[in-house]
Amino acid sequence: MTNSRLISPIYHPLNASVHVPGSKSLTNRALLISALADGKTSLTNALFSDDSRYFVDALIQVGFDVINDPKNTSLTITGLGGCIPSHKAKLFIGNAGTAARFLSAFLTLGNGEYILDGDARMRERPIGDLVEALRQLGAIVESVEQKKINFTGHIFPPIKIIASGLPGGKTKIAGNISSQFLSALLMVAPYARSPVEIELTTELNSKPYVDLTLAIMKDFGIEIQHHGYERFIAFPARYFSRPSYLIEPDASAASYFFAAPAICGGSVQVENISNRSKQGDITFLEVLAQMGCIITKVDSHLRITGHAPLRGIDVNMCDIPDTAQTLATIAPFASTPTRIRGIASARLKETDRVHATCTELSRLGVKVDEHEDGMTIYPCTVFHPTTVQTYNDHRMAMAFSLIGLRIPGISIENSGCVSKTFPHFFEVLETLRSTEVGIS
C-alpha cells in the first residue's frame, strides 16, 4: 500500500529526550465538559490530531464556538450551559471511537435530530450497549441501518438521536465492551432532568479511564457518588468553566518511548510527564520495571533506562489495553516468553488488535500463540525483514516501529495512519538517534 516508511535501526545505546503531544483521553473529555459548562474554557497543550479534529468539527457543526490555535496547542471553547444550538446535524466522525461514544450521549441533551456516522471500520464497532443505556434514561436513539440489527443483534453507526433533553432515571450497562460507554453516560448525567443511577452488569474493563473521567469532572466542579465500580449516581448539577486547563502529555503515546530503551539499551527521557499522571497508561512503566527497566524521576520528567537481559512476564493488561501492542513488540527481545492477558476488548478497537498483532509478529518470524483474551509471545533471535501491515490502526504503526529500531529491513505500511492521535510520531522517533539529552 502507499505511504510505506522504512525504519532504520539505531546501532548505539539511546540517550535522548522527547516531547509527546497532549493526551487524547484528556483532550476529548475536556472538550465535552467545556462545551457543557457555561462560559469560555481554554485547553492548553491540547492534542491536535485526526481524532480531536473530528470532535472539534462536530462541536462547531452543532453550533459551538471553538477557537483552534495549533501553534500554541490551545483550544478555546465557549460552553453554553448544557444547550446545543443546532437542531439538526449529520456528523461524520471517521473512526474516532471516543468522539462517537461521547457525542452519542451529549446529543441527547439537545432538541432536534442528529445523525452520527463514521467510516467503514466505525460501522463495524458496536455501540448498542450505550444506545440501550440511553434509551433506559428516556432518550430516543435509533439505528439508521435496521438490517444490521436483525443480522447481528447489535447496533452500529450510523445512529439517529431524536433529542428533547435527557429525562434521567436508572440505567444498566455492561462494563466489558468499552469503558467509554460509562464515561459518556457519566459526563452528561448531571444535565439530565432528574438524577441518574448507572448500574454495571459486568466487571468493568479499563477502570483507570473511568477514574480519569471522574477526575476531570471533579476539576470542573462535579462529583459523582459511587462505591467501587458497580453503581454510580449523578444528581443534577452544572460544570463551571476554567480560564485555563492544562492537558497532560499523552501517556499512551509516551509508552513507545518508554519502551524503546528496553530493546535498544541506553536511556530516553520523556519531558513533562509524571508517574503520578491521571492517565492509567502511565502504569505501563510498572510493566517495564517488571521486565528489568529502570525508571527514574528527573525534575518534572521521567527517564527510562534499559537493562539487559529483558525478562518475559505474565501480565493482565485489562486496565491498560492501549499499551498491549507496545509490550507485544518488545516481548520477542526478552529472554523468556511473555503472556498478555485481559485484552479481549482490544478486538473491538480500530482493528482486531489481538489478531492483527499476532499476525504481524508471525510474519516477522516471531512465534506467538493467539488467545481469546490476549497472546503468548516467545523470544526470537532471527527476524524476517518485512513490511508490517497496520490495518489502518495508529497503534499498530507506532508499536511495530520499535522493532525497526533494532532489526533492519522493517517498513511500516500506511504509516500516515498515526495522524489519528500522534501526527508527528515519526519525527519524534527520529530524535532517538540523538546522543545528546535535551534535543527533541
Q: Which residues are catalytic?
A: 322
**Strand order through the sheet with 386-388:** 5-7, 410-412, 386-388
Of the candidates 201, 235, 239, 199, the one whose C-alpha atom is nearest the C-alpha of residue 222 is: 239
Q: Is the peptide bond before 309 cis (omega within 30 degrees of 0)?
A: yes
Strand positions, DSSP E, 81-223: 88-92, 111-117, 140-143, 159-164, 169-173, 196-200
Bridge partners, 338 (sequence order)? 377
Q: Which grid cell is 2? A: 502507499
Bridge partners, 42 (sequence order)? 76
CA angle 183, 186, 192 (to 5 degrees): 145
Query: For residue 22, with 0-12 CB atoms within 10 Å meaning exposed, 13-18 middle and 19 or more buried, which class applies?
Result: buried
Bridge partners, 77 (sequence order)? 41, 66
Distance of CA 74 to the CA centre of its chain: 20
DSSP 177: S
H-run or E-run covering 30: helix 24-36
Q: Which grid cell is 164? A: 428533547
CB 52, CB 60: distance < 8 Å = no
Instruction: Please tell me the distance from the alpha carbon of residue 44 to that of residue 24, in angstroms, as a whole number.
Output: 13
Spatial neighbors of 381 by CB under 8 A, at least 6 apart, are none
DSSP 209-229: HHHHHHHHHHHTT---EESTT
260: number of Cβ within 10 Å = 27
Of the candidates 80, 100, 98, the one whose C-alpha atom is nearest the C-alpha of residue 36 is: 80
Bridge partners, 92 (sequence order)? 117
Q: Is the peptide bond before 332 cis (omega within 30 degrees of 0)?
A: no
Residue type (1 letter), 243: P
